[in-house]
Structure 1
């Protein structure tokens, strides 16, 4: 599989985005995405910054995108995963967020107001839930 085919697979099968939606997230037009996926980009030098942007925007493993080795997504550290999640809550306006993201943002706000004692109780509850899940 060639890189342009992996880009199409990522967009269509994994992210389930149209060419227009994918392009919008990357700041390019649908026709640029169409040309990349057909491997007929008029200015091939455009491809390099787009590869970097695809990897950054969607946490894609650059080695996988370029040559098909490794996993599709890069493995985030615990801190990176937390930062990415928090950033996703902050980058959209509340009225444009999905219902799921609105709940997540409200929950994050509640968590931010917990005291140390509240965190201890929450940790105990989480451990109990984990034990129930595994029994």
Structure 2
């Protein structure tokens, strides 16, 4: 299997169409289609973007050696989430973080429990 085929396999594994997958890594749908059809090469830049955006093993993408996905620790997840929130032009996320940090310790504890309960219900309903 070629690297181009692995890009297509990954996209399908993630259940994404070419447009949505491409947007995540700054490629147009037609450019991604060219990669998947082996009419375009996969650049080092694209490899790095895919690996970073989707937590994919660079070794798997280049060679096919599993595992496909890499585990990231909570510290790295936090860094990625914070970087994404900082780069997004989503004023709601920024305001939410600011307001949360302005809460008292007791109020933050209540908000944490609320979010944990919502996440648990969401996970349960998707299973």
Shorter-chain TM-score bucket reads: 0.5 to 0.7
The 1:71–1:108 alpha-carbon spacing in structure 2 relative to 1, beyond 3 Å, is farther
Which residue of 2 is the match for residue 98 of structure 1? none
Deviation at 1:107, TM superposition (A): 5.7
Question: What is the aligned partner in structure 1 of residue 67 from structure 2?
Answer: 71
Question: Which residue of structure 2 lines up, in the alignment, with residue 53 of structure 1?
Answer: 49
- How far apart, CA to CA, are the structure 1 residues paired with 2:55 and 2:13? 16
Gaps of 5+ in 2: 121-127
Query: Which has more radius of gyration?
Result: 1
Task: Provide the C-alpha distance between the structure 1 equivalents of 2:9 and 2:34, rounded to a whole number of angstroms.
Answer: 15
Alignment match, 1:99? none
Residues matched between the structures, number: 115
TM-score, with length taken from structure 1: 0.63
Tell me which residue corresponds to 1:8: 8
- List per-residue Cα deviations over 1:62-107 (Å, max 9, x = no partner): 0111122232222223211111122333333337xxxxxx6x7666
| TM-score under structure 2 length normalisation | 0.66
Rounded to whole Å, the distance in 1 between the matches of 2:48 and 2:20 is 18
Local SS of the residue matching 2:43:
helix
Aligned position for 2:29: 30
CA distance in 1, matches of 2:69, 2:13: 14
